[in-house]
Amino acid sequence: MDNNLVEIYATTHYNKCNKHNDIYIRKNLPCPYPNCENGIKEDKFIDFEYKIQDKKVTKEIKHLYTRKKFKGIENDYKYIWLKEDDLFPSISNIIVNEVHVINKWNIIESIYHYTKLDNLYSILNSNELWLTEYTAQTDSIEIVLGFDLFSKYDKNDINISKKLFSKNLSFFLTCFSYESECRTLFNLYSDYSQGVSIEFDSNFNIDNNFWYSDDQLLQLMPVIYDDQIQRKIVDYCIYLFNVSEKWIDMSKDTFNNKNELITKYKRKEVIKIFFKNKMEELLSFFKHYSYKDEREVRWLYRKDDEFINEYYGECLNKRSDERTKKTYYTSTDIARKLSPSEEKINLKLPIKSITLGTNIQDKDKIICKIKDLLKNNCYENVEIKVSTLPY
Ligand SMILES: [Zn+2]
């Protein structure tokens, strides 16, 4: 490695830039935007990372970061520090962030789950949401829409397989809406307004592990109905895939921990696998515009055995997969799968309020029952409201 490079121990020295707060700027790195007061003038630097083994700090690894320029989904120029030996997390973060921008997801603070009264009671008692297998949902055919759209524009031979219908890949999801009081949804999912809409805090995401996971298998996002935007997202992802291949071509050689060269060809193959997974996930948020009134926000868990076995090892996969034959996962199953910490597994669902449908009989009695359940299950500050929708 070049000895004249600037060295930075980023963990203690830099904070996130408040001028350029794109989420893909890794916390604690200097700001990647040139001429920014929170950045550095050099286009490359080395970061230290300390490894703790057997309670001792044993190893110090250096990563090379290079400033890269690319286009955002709205054609504006953006910058990133690219960790050359570990390119995919950056690419994936860019994709997610740009899709959030075009989806206006960053400004939504609450999402609403419409359901029947009995389901509300079991959600409160169990502190769990159920994510049901996609194929068990009525609109499973919808997923084909995104896959077809992608293959139409795929000139890179990325060739996203429809392994959705194989045993190795399945999607589990639960549906919300960003509409707080919607007659259609009250009718469809809340027993003709005899049920409730439960408001959740969509910003609640302690240490990235409630709504989203670091490995990107868990994602919360509004469904995309507009076919222009669907096309734009597909185009953008393909653009970024091409950019990432160029970045690999321009990068220095990288080596594995046995000091063997990882060829650029091999690195491109790896990127392609990650990219395919990312696309499969994104496409499962595409839906036909005729459903647009539902304003759906989907909480989606991608259960991809092939991917998990290859990148995390079979034992991790087996550890948490007693439910292989089940058609649903609970939010606790998923938390357990993604984090071994008991504290996180026992997090209270981020419920902000509960709105009773107009047609609920005996509202006072039901409100008392809900209040008791909230209290007995240690939920705090949950407001109870009655829908103002005329029936
Ligand atoms: Zn900045």
Lowest mean pLDDT among 34-43, 163-172, 201-210, 216-225: 163-172
Q: Give 30 Cα–ligand 1 centroid separation in angstroms.
A: 8
Ligand 1 centre and the CA of 102: distance in Å?
Answer: 22
Residues 222 and 173 in one domain: yes
Q: State whether 47 and 131 are in the same domain.
A: no
Do 349 and 200 form a contact (C-beta atoms < 8 A)? Answer: yes
pLDDT of residue 175: 92
**CA–CA gap between residue 197 and residue 205 (Å, rounded):** 21
Q: Does residue 69 fall inside a structural domain?
A: yes
How high is the pLDDT of residue 280?
80
Give distance in angstroms: CA of 22 to centre of ligand 1: 10
pLDDT at residue 144 in the model: 67
CA–centroid distance, 223 to ligand 1, in Å, is: 31
**270 within a domain of the structure (yes/no):** no
37 alpha carbon – ligand 1 mean position (Å): 7
Rounded Cα distance, 238 and 244, in Å = 10
Dig out the tokens for 244 from the structure.
């990432």
CA–CA separation, 164 vs 270, rounded Å?
A: 20
State residue 167's pLDDT score: 58
Q: For the chain, what is the mean pLDDT?
A: 82
Residues 16 and 147 in one domain: no
pLDDT in tens, 113-132: 999 999 999 999 999 999 98
pLDDT, one tens digit per residue, over 340-389 is 677 777 788 999 999 999 999 999 999 999 999 999 999 989 999 999 88
User: Residue 5 C-alpha to ligand 1 middle, in angstroms?
Assistant: 21
Task: Please report whether residue 333 resides in a domain.
Answer: yes
Residue scoring higher pLDDT (381 or 151): 381
pLDDT at 257: 78
Measured in Å, residue 12 CA sits from the centre of ligand 1 at: 17
Query: What is the rounded CA–CA span in Å between residue 69 and residue 77?
Result: 7
Centre of ligand 1 from the C-alpha of residue 159, in Å: 37
Gap from CA of 6 to ligand 1 centroid (Å)? 19
- Compute the distance from residue 34 Cα to the ligand 1 centre, in Å: 8
Q: What is the mean pLDDT of residues 302-307?
A: 74
Q: Which residues contact 17 (CB under 8 A, 6 or more apart)?
A: 25, 31, 33, 36, 38, 39
Q: How many structural domains comprise the chain?
A: 2
Distance (angstroms) between ligand 1 centre and the Cα of 39 equals 6
Whether residue 256 is contained in a domain is answered as no
pLDDT at 12: 57
Residue 323 has pLDDT above 50, yes or no: no
For ligand 1, the distance from its centroid to the CA atom of residue 79, given in whole angstroms, is: 10
Domain that holds residue 44: 1-82
Same domain? 378 vs 303: yes
Most confident range, picked from 81-90, 169-178, 308-317: 169-178
- Per-residue pLDDT at 319 exceeds 70: no
In a domain, 90, yes or no: no
Asked which of 29, 48, 82 is the last residue of a domain, the reply is: 82
Q: Tell whether 60 and 136 lie within a shared domain.
A: no
Centre of ligand 1 to C-alpha 81, Å, is 12
Cα 20 to ligand 1 centroid, rounded to whole Å? 5
In a domain, 112, yes or no: yes
Taking residue 37's Cβ as centre, other Cβ atoms within 10 Å add up to: 8
User: Is residue 10 pLDDT above 80, yes or no?
Assistant: no
The answer to whether 65 touches 46, Cβ cutoff 8 Å, is yes
CA 212–ligand 1 middle distance (angstroms) = 26
pLDDT at 73 over 90: yes
Residue 115: other Cβ atoms inside 10 A: 21
Q: How far is the CA of 16 from the centre of ligand 1 (A)?
A: 8
User: Residue 236 has what pLDDT?
Assistant: 93
Q: Of 189, 91, 152, 111, nearest to 283 (Cα)?
A: 152
Same domain membership, residue 150 and residue 77: no
Sign for the CA dihedral angle at 339, 345, 348, 352 comes to: positive
69 CA → ligand 1 middle, Å: 14
Q: What is the whole-number distance in angstroms between the Cα of residue 331 and the centre of ligand 1?
A: 37
35, 111: one domain: no
- Indicate whether 74 and 124 sit together in one domain: no
Express as a percent the part of the chain with pLDDT over 90.
Answer: 33
Among 51-55, 110-114, 208-212, 233-237, the range with the most confident prediction by mean pLDDT is: 110-114
pLDDT score, position 298: 92
> Burial code of 358-368, b = ≥16 C-beta within 10 A, e = fewer?
bbbeeeeebbe
The answer to whether residue 237 sits within a structural domain is no
Percent of the chain with pLDDT strictly greater than 70: 80
Same domain, 78 and 114: no
What is residue 311's predicted lDDT score, i.e. its pLDDT? 62
- Cβ 91 vs Cβ 275: under 8 Å: yes
pLDDT band at 89 (very low <50, low <70, confident <90, very high): confident
355 & 318 share domain: yes
- Specify the amino acid at residue 16: K
Q: Using CB atoms within 10 Å of the CB of residue 181, give its burial: 0 to 12 exposed, 13 to 18 middle, 19+ buried.
A: middle
Nearest to 298 by CA among 205, 214, 222: 222
What is the distance, to the nearest Å, from the Cα of residue 339 to the centroid of all Cα atoms in its chain?
15
Q: How far is the CA of 40 from the centre of ligand 1 (A)?
A: 10
Shared-domain flag, residues 288 and 367: yes
CA–centroid distance, residue 15 to ligand 1 (Å)? 10
Residues lining ion ligand 1 (Cβ < 5 A) are 17, 19-20, 31, 33, 36, 38
What average pLDDT does range 87-94 have in this prediction?
83
The per-residue pLDDT for range 25-38, each reduced to its tens digit, is 666 788 899 999 88
Residue that terminates a domain, selected from 51, 82, 113: 82
The pLDDT-based confidence of 1 (bands split at 50, 70, 90) is: very low
**pLDDT, tens digit, 9 for 90 and up, residues 227-285:** 899 999 999 999 999 999 999 998 888 888 788 888 999 988 888 888 888 888 888 88
Q: Where are the alpha helices (DSSP H) in the chain?
A: 10-13, 88-102, 117-126, 142-153, 183-189, 227-250, 264-283, 305-312, 314-319, 331-338, 342-345, 363-376
Three-state SS for 163? helix
**Is residue 159, in this structure, part of any structural domain at all?**
yes
pLDDT at position 329 is 87
Supply the pLDDT for residue 320: 47
* pLDDT surpasses 80 at 216: no
Angle between helix axes 227-250 and 142-153 (nearest 10 degrees) is: 50
Whether residue 87 is predicted with pLDDT greater than 60 in this model: the reply is yes
pLDDT range class, residue 9, cuts 50, 70, 90 = low
Distance 344 CA to ligand 1 centre (A): 33
What's the average model confidence in pLDDT over 127-155? 71
289 and 224 assigned to the same domain: yes
Find the 36 Cα to ligand 1 centroid distance in Å.
5
